[in-house]
Amino acid sequence: MPELIDQANDRGMTALMAAAHGGHAAVVTMLLERGADVTCRDDRGVSALDYAIRENKLEVARALLDNTPELIDQANDRGMTALMAAAHGGHAAVVTMLLERGADVTCRDDRGVSALDYVIKKGLNIESATMLAKIGAEKGIMLSGMTRDQTEADFSNGNLRPADTILIGSDLKLMAVVTVLELCGNKIGAEGAIAIAEALKVNAVLTFLDLDRNSIGGDGAKAIAEALKVNAALTILDLVNNQISVDGAKAIAEALKVNAALAELRLDHNDIGEEGASAIAEALKVNAVVTTLGLSSNRIGPEGAIAIAEALKVNAVVTTLSLRNNTIGDEGAKAIAEALKVNAVLTKLWLGGNIMGDAGIQAVRDAVKDRSGFVLEL
């Protein structure tokens, strides 16, 4: 009896709605093949697709949209589309699928809330954020809450995740006047750093970037380094406490050899070790723009300090250097002292917490005793 296929129960539910609600994708497909009406709604105005979205039944939603693609932006009696409902429910995988199928992010419900607003508030994961970024780039849509005419953006300590940062990176590509971006104290990770790095490759106005305490790791540092090779605008970069380690430091060092804009670089608390410090030192021998360098708390040891000292003998631009808490000992201190005898540019040097003995401390003091205005912390 084919007429039974769309017969409703006492609540107005058809077989298709019941199958969608239960997540029975195979049954939904069978009913659709037999001509079940996807537009039917129950006594509360809920359709089969609504049930699939509400119950987070990804495969059912796919089957319904495969059968009737035009359902994707059809609104319910409150003006909510499938994308809004999926985002409101926090169903990130369904959100991603709908975005991939071209769901309209500009649709608005009866309260004037857009699908984009719903997605950003509740439906974001890395995949859906990546899809949104693609849509934003294609249609020129701002996604993160920033505006095109904004000159400074402060997202510090905002509990931002990689997905949030992907949207920020997308917006940066559309902004022509922003000069300051503060992202310190978030959780953007390597994926977030990669998104920011991609934006840096095309953004020609940002001069200050703070990524302090974001756990970007070596991979994130490598992405930022690649951006630095082509970016000619950024002058201040804060990567403090990001666990970039040796590989990240090496990547940054290679970028410093060709970058002609970065003047201030903060790499403190990154566990770069002796090997990372040596890589940075080699870059300093050819870099002609970095004037302020922070390398505190990196376990560079005496050998790392010796490498930095050798760089200082030929570097003619670094004026401020922080090497606090690196266990450089007397050997490292004496190497720095020897460098100071020939380096006439450095004016501020922080060496506290380095387990230096009297001989090392005295050597450094003697090296700068006749230099008026020299700032020295021991």
Question: Does the residue 127 lie in any domain?
Answer: no
Question: Does the residue 130 lie in any domain?
Answer: no
Structural domain ending residue among the three candidates 90, 122, 154: 122
Residue 295 DSSP class: -
Asked whether residue 123 carries a pLDDT value surpassing 80, the answer given is no
pTM, full prediction? 0.87
| Cβ pair 51, 39 in contact under 8 A | no
Kindly state whether residues 115 and 146 are assigned to the same domain: no
Kindly state whether residues 97 and 227 are assigned to the same domain: no
Angle between helices 92-100 and 126-139 (to 10 degrees): 30
Q: How many domains does the chain have?
A: 2
Average pLDDT over residues 168-195: 97
Asked whether residue 1 carries a pLDDT value surpassing 50, the answer given is no
Sign of the CA dihedral with 300 first, then 302, 306, and 307 last? negative
Distance from C-alpha of 152 to C-alpha of 229, rounded to nearest angstrom? 24
Kindly state whether residues 204 and 73 are assigned to the same domain: no
> For residue 20, how many other CB atoms are within 10 A of its CB?
31
CATH code of the domain in which 336 resides: 3.80.10.10
Kindly state whether residues 219 and 363 are assigned to the same domain: yes
Kindly state whether residues 282 and 235 are assigned to the same domain: yes
User: Can you give the residue range of the structural domain that contains 262?
Assistant: 142-377
Kindly state whether residues 159 and 113 are assigned to the same domain: no
Distance from C-alpha of 305 to C-alpha of 224, rounded to nearest angstrom? 25
Asked whether residue 67 carries a pLDDT value surpassing 80, the answer given is yes
Kindly state whether residues 260 and 373 are assigned to the same domain: yes
Kindly state whether residues 56 and 192 are assigned to the same domain: no
Q: Write the pLDDT tens digit of every residue in 81-101.
A: 999 999 999 898 999 899 899
Question: Does the residue 134 lie in any domain?
Answer: no
Kindly state whether residues 102 and 159 are assigned to the same domain: no
Kindly state whether residues 78 and 193 are assigned to the same domain: no
Structural domain ending residue among the three candidates 122, 152, 185: 122
Kindly state whether residues 289 and 190 are assigned to the same domain: yes
CATH code of the domain in which 61 resides: 1.25.40.20
Asked whether residue 10 carries a pLDDT value surpassing 80, the answer given is yes
Residues 6+ apart with CB under 8 A from 319: 291, 292, 345, 346, 347, 348
Kindly state whether residues 266 and 160 are assigned to the same domain: yes
Q: Write the pLDDT tens digit of every residue in 315-357.
A: 999 999 999 999 999 999 999 999 999 999 999 999 999 999 9
Sorting pLDDT into bands at 50, 70 and 90, what band is 29? very high
